[in-house]
């Protein structure tokens, strides 16, 4: 990185006493053999990077000529090549520190999958089955993928049912209700809940949901034979999970799914046609014929057409509704064909349901009622007939809308359908099922119902017992806290009592007892599943806190003068080393005898070396404590309060963007609070104004909701106006710094702003008139994009000229990518950044840290030669915080992570109109990155003008982001919709990678501010 290179350079400037610390000019190359300049502190070379070191107040460093080298080399030494001391005193060189940091963060990152996203499934249960004969010999399961409950049940505009056959069924010969699905409302978890009876856990997230992430049992597996037809995305997972060869699948190939491209309903007619020809072919195939006539047969028809049409045309479209009609006709045909095939033996049960619903805008995955409410219609052998009721209460208004008030609605949870199917054809309940048998659907004796319920309870209790056994085996007996409500004796009690009730024909009591038992067992299952969560979470948090403390100590030790020289005590450190080794061994031993997985060792042992490193710095802590005690208590508490508040605001802004508004309003008051306004009234006033202006943006809706092209054009004109104004100012005041080339660059940039404004307006006009994207506009757009990365490098490296030139170039690109108010955002943000640079100067002066340099003549090109950095001041923590805050503002100012996902294609219309996810994604990332670049460039300017080492600031940023990461670690969600879980993980990952991201941005900013490309010149020595 450039910054490293810049810092490694030997000092070439004599800047004695600028910031209260001496500086030197060095030229010799042999470390330790340089005569020490008069009046300076000693200087040495870092053994790692061979760069020059300035020695801090603790310093000993290599050695100057004629001065003894540091005894046993254990002393602290400051190294400018990196913020870290390179001597063995901390026992960590640069590479070790980076490696340790990466390792610690990797472990933190990976740990969430072990802590939150582990599979709850257990194995090794015995199958249980109702001892009484089942009502049906075979079951036909129709799953209409993506069918909403209301789409099926509601009447159309002519007051006629959408699906006449199914309506007739639920009115005359079956039972109906709503099946409530859980989030994520996706096809795979939906089918798993239906057929295997459990809600697929989020551990599948990590495994991509492609293959079977975990082994599980299903109704299909328990059946004698299952034949299934439908999509290759769904069927294979049940065939693969089945033992033996009795689950048969017939899928169209994934490639030939295109045949449904014109009309997705063809996906459904394909299934119906194949079922019909399958039954026809069985008449000439004796083996197949007898197999079809066996008991415990399942026929599964997966109908993907409705889902596909819903995605393509949305649920209120003609296509979606017509597809429902196609499915209705198909179900009618198949049902009568099957009844005929079996000679109307009355031994066939039918179920029609759906895996999930669909939102009005054609998506699914989250928890909106339109996604979680799916229809359930059951009829045939063993199923209750419609029950007439006079009144029934549900919180929703659907019954009236659907004109079904008088037919009993029986709602179930999606996983309850698996035990229902199992009980209809008399197979064991799927082993991992957590569903409760919906008894009201059954048309059978009370005895049968009680027995079935009892089987259901025993089957779920079995899972509980296995889970408890597993946990008990891997936990030391004195550490094991059992789930009290369901102790061994309680379980036996429950079972005995239920048996007794059944024997006494008290079936209702038996059923209610079974329901209690099921609920307790499910509670216990989740108790044992999350048993280790607290302990692991605490281990990780310990490591996290230890690491952050260590980084804070490194900052204090190497960048401040809060601590005094401390002589390391050899004896003490040896004792410490052994003590920590013993602690580590004890932990390892405990884990070993409990036979924990290897990852547990990593999580539990990691805090040991981290805290060892912290405790070794005990003298620094003592020094610090002594220092702090001399301060006022109120000051300390105030500082802590302000820091906590600041970090909380940052954390909350990830969830509520409006929190940033509060933060910015507090910022607006900063000059008043710190009395800064007294010395710079105008600057302070502009600062306050711009803060308030920027505070408006987080309150606006996420970008892309309402395009507002006139606003974008107005922004373009405003930018032009500002640049004209600043050009006029520059020409008047600093003529000598201007050259023809620079004016030319300036002119090009203003031209590109003009062109961008024109392109945006004409492109959107032309698109509105359906004339497509004019080729000329497209060419201009791409050229502007290309030139914007080069133009700033051609401009002068004087602070404000360079920054302004960067702004103009980025603005021209940003305008092209804008569709509304967000176009103003970078303009206001960089306005604030300009004032910030000025304000930091004032602050520096306010705290007496520096003589105010003239910013107007400050040149980036010479700035990197300054190896003079001052000690960290408490105010620098605030400076770093401002930076992190502005970075977060840059991210959430106009949108959030969700808006990156649901991205509005309108914003790239100036570049391309053909759908190309890769290109569009790239352009969107560019749009997101532009505000970051602006903030980073401003921060770069702040760093160099306040003589701060970028590395020390990064350590502070690291601390801030680690504290935030600890917050997000506890906020990771393992439940909720796809989006909720994904967002909580991405928050965590985002904060974790914040430091790396900021370092990248810093490198880019340095490149943009310091590098200068020279145009070929005709006249030499034109400018000075």
Query: Which residues of this protein are in contact with Zn ion, per CB under 5 A?
Result: 145-146, 187, 307, 355
- Residue whose CB is less far from Zn ion, 187 or 715: 187
Q: Which residue has the tokens 């008399």?
A: 426
- Residue whose CB is less far from Zn ion, 355 or 840: 355
Q: At closest approach, how far in Å is the CB of 441 from Zn ion?
A: 23
- Residue whose CB is less far from Zn ion, 271 or 990: 271
Q: At closest approach, how far in Å is the CB of 363 from Zn ion?
A: 8
Tokens of 354: 């759906």
Q: At closest approach, how far in Å is the CB of 187 from Zn ion?
A: 3
Contact present, 586 and 579 (Cβ < 8 Å): no
Q: Please state, in angstroms and rounded to a whole number, the distance separating the CA atoms of residues 23 and 15.
A: 6
Backbone angles phi and psi of 174, in degrees to 5 = -145, -175
- Residue whose CB is less far from Zn ion, 247 or 306: 306
Q: Which residue in 929, 938, 940 sits closest to 894, CA to CA? A: 929
- Residue whose CB is less far from Zn ion, 355 or 623: 355
- Residue whose CB is less far from Zn ion, 304 or 525: 304
Q: At closest approach, how far in Å is the CB of 186 from Zn ion?
A: 7
**For 34, which DSSP code?**
P
Q: At closest approach, how far in Å is the CB of 311 from Zn ion?
A: 6
- Residue whose CB is less far from Zn ion, 374 or 838: 374
- Determine how many CB atoms are found less than 10 A away from the CB of residue 157: 5
- What are the Cα distances from residue 825, in Å, to 303, 683, 893, 930? 48, 20, 8, 11
- Residue whose CB is less far from Zn ion, 312 or 662: 312
Cβ neighbours of residue 338 closer than 8 Å, sequence gap 6 or more: 140, 279, 299, 348
Burial 919-950 (b: 16+ CB within 10 A, else e): ebeebbebbbbbbbbbbbbbbbbbbbbbbbbb
Q: At closest approach, how far in Å is the CB of 298 from Zn ion?
A: 19
- Residue whose CB is less far from Zn ion, 181 or 868: 181
Q: At closest approach, how far in Å is the CB of 695 from Zn ion?
A: 40
- What are the Cα distances from residue 930, in Å, to 45, 603, 763? 38, 38, 22
Burial 335-364 (b: 16+ CB within 10 A, else e): beebeebeeeeebbbbbbbbbbbbbeebbb
Contact present, 326 and 355 (Cβ < 8 Å): no
Q: Which residue is nearest to Zn ion (CB)?
A: 187
DSSP 694-756: HHHGGGSPPTTSS--HHHHHHHHHHHHHHHHHHHHHHHHH-GGG--HHHHHHHHHHHHHHHHH
- Residue whose CB is less far from Zn ion, 307 or 842: 307
Q: Please state, in angstroms and rounded to a whole number, the distance separating the CA atoms of residues 461 and 126.
A: 11
Contact present, 884 and 961 (Cβ < 8 Å): yes
Q: At closest approach, how far in Å is the CB of 132 from Zn ion?
A: 35
Q: At closest approach, how far in Å is the CB of 232 from Zn ion?
A: 13
Q: At closest approach, how far in Å is the CB of 302 from Zn ion?
A: 9
| 797-803-807-808 Cα dihedral, nearest 10 degrees | -40
Q: At closest approach, how far in Å is the CB of 1001 from Zn ion?
A: 38
Q: End-to-end distance of the chain based on CA atoms, in angstroms? A: 30
- Residue whose CB is less far from Zn ion, 148 or 764: 148
- Residue whose CB is less far from Zn ion, 59 or 146: 146
Compute CA 955 distance to the chain's CA centroid, rounded to the nearest angstrom: 24
Q: At closest approach, how far in Å is the CB of 649 from Zn ion?
A: 39
Q: Which residue has the tokens 């025993």?
A: 458
DSSP 441-456: GB-S-HHHHHHHHHHH
């Amino acid at each position: 990185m450039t910054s490293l290179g810049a810092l490694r350079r030997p000092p070439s400037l004599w800047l004695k006493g600028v910031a209260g610390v001496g500086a030197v000019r060095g030229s010799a190359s042999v470390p330790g053999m340089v005569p020490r300049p008069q009046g300076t502190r000693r200087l040495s070379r870092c053994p790692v990077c061979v760069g020059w070191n300035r020695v801090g107040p603790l310093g000993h460093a290599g050695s100057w000529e004629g001065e003894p080298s540091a005894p046993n080399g254990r002393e602290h030494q400051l190294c400018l090549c990196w913020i870290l001391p390179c001597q063995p005193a901390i026992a960590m060189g640069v590479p070790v520190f980076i490696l340790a940091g990466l390792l610690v963060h990797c472990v933190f990152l990976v740990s969430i999958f072990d802590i939150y996203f582990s599979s709850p499934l257990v194995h090794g249960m015995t199958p249980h089955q109702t001892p009484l004969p089942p009502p049906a010999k075979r079951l036909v399961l129709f799953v209409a993928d993506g069918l909403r409950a209301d789409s099926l049940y509601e009447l159309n505009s002519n007051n006629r049912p959408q699906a006449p056959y199914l309506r007739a069924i639920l009115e005359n010969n079956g039972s109906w209700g709503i099946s409530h699905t859980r989030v994520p409302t996706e096809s795979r978890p939906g089918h798993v809940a239906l057929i295997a009876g459990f809600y697929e856990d989020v551990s599948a997230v990590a495994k991509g949901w492609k293959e079977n992430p975990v082994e599980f049992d299903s109704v299909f597996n328990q059946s004698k034979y299952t034949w299934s037809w439908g999509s290759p995305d769904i069927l294979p997972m049940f065939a693969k999970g089945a033992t033996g060869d009795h689950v048969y699948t017939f899928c169209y190939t994934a490639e030939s799914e295109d045949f449904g491209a014109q009309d997705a309903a063809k996906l459904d007619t394909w299934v119906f046609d194949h079922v019909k020809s399958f039954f026809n072919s069985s008449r000439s195939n004796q083996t197949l014929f007898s197999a079809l006539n066996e008991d415990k047969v399942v026929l599964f028809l997966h109908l993907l057409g409705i889902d596909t049409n819903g995605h393509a045309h949305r649920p209120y479209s003609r296509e979606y509704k017509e597809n429902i009609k196609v499915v209705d006709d198909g179900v009618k045909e198949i049902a009568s064909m099957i009844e005929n095939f079996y000679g109307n033996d009355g031994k066939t049960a039918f179920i029609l349901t759906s895996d999930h619903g669909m939102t009005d805008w054609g998506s699914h995955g989250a928890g909106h009622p339109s996604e979680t409410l799916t229809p359930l219609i059951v009829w045939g052998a063993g199923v209750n007939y419609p029950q007439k009721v006079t009144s029934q209460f549900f919180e929703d208004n659907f019954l009236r809308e659907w004109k079904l008030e008088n037919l009993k609605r029986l709602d179930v949870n999606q996983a309850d359908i698996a035990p229902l199917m199992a009980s209809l054809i008399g197979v064991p309940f799927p082993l991992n099922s957590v569903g409760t048998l919906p008894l009201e659907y059954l048309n059978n004796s009370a005895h049968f119902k009680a027995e079935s319920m009892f089987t259901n309870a025993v089957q779920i209790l079995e899972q509980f017992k296995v889970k408890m056994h597993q946990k008990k085996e891997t936990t030391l007996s004195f550490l094991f806290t059992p789930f009290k409500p369901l102790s061994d004796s309680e379980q036996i009690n429950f079972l005995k009592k239920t048996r007794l009730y059944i024997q006494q024909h008290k079936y209702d009591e038996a059923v209610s007892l079974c329901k209690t038992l099921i609920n307790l067992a499910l509670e216990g299952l989740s108790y044992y599943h999350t048993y280790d969560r607290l302990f692991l979470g605490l281990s990780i948090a310990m490591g996290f806190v230890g690491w952050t403390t260590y980084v804070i100590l490194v900052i204090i030790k190497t960048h401040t003068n809060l601590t005094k020289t401390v002589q390391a005590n050899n004896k003490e450190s040896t004792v410490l080393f052994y003590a920590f080794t013993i602690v580590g061994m004890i932990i390892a031993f405990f884990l070993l005898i409990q036979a924990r997985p290897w990852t547990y060792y990593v999580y539990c042992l990691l805090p040991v070396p981290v805290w060892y490193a912290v405790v070794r710095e005990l003298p620094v802590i003592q020094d610090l404590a002594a220092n702090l005690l001399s301060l006022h208590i109120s000051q300390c508490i105030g500082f802590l309060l302000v820091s906590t508040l600041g970090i909380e605001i940052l954390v909350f802004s990830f969830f509520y963007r409006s929190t940033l508004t509060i933060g910015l309003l507090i910022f607006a008051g900063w000059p008043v609070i710190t009395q800064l306004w007294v010395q710079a009234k105008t600057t302070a006033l502009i600062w306050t104004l711009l803060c308030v202006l920027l505070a408006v943006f987080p309150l606006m809706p996420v970008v892309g909701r309402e395009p507002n092209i006139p606003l974008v054009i107005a922004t373009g004109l405003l930018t032009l106006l500002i640049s004209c104004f600043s050009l006029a100012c520059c020409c008047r005041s600093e003529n000598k710094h201007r050259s023809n080339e620079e004016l030319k660059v300036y002119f090009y940039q203003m031209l590109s702003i003009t062109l961008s404004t024109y392109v945006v307006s004409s492109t959107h006009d032309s698109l509105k008139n359906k004339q497509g994207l004019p080729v000329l506009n497209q060419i201009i757009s791409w050229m502007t994009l290309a030139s914007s990365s080069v133009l700033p490098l051609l401009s002068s490296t004087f602070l404000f000229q360079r920054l302004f030139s960067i702004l103009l170039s980025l603005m021209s690109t940003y305008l092209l990518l804008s569709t509304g108010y967000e176009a103003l955002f970078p303009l206001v943000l960089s306005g604030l950044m300009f004032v910030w640079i000025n304000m930091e100067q004032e602050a520096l002066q306010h705290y007496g840290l520096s003589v105010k340099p003239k910013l107007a003549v400050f040149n980036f090109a010479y700035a990197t030669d300054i190896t003079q950095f001052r000690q960290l001041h408490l105010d620098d923590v605030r400076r770093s915080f401002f930076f992190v805050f502005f970075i977060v503002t840059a991210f959430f100012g106009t949108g959030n992570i969700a808006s990156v996902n649901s991205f509005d294609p309108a914003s790239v219309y100036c570049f391309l109109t053909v759908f190309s996810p890769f290109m569009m994604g790239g352009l969107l990332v560019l749009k997101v990155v532009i505000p970051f670049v602006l903030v980073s460039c401003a921060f770069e300017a702040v760093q160099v003008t306040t003589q701060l080492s970028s590395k020390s600031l990064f350590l502070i940023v690291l601390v801030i982001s680690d504290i935030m990461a600890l917050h997000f670690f506890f906020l990771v969600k393992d439940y909720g919709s796809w989006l909720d879980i994904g967002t909580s993980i991405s928050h965590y990952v985002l904060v974790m990678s914040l430091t790396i991201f900021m370092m990248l941005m810093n490198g880019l900013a340095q490149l943009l501010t310091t590098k200068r490309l020279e145009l070929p010149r005709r006249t030499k020595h034109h400018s000075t």
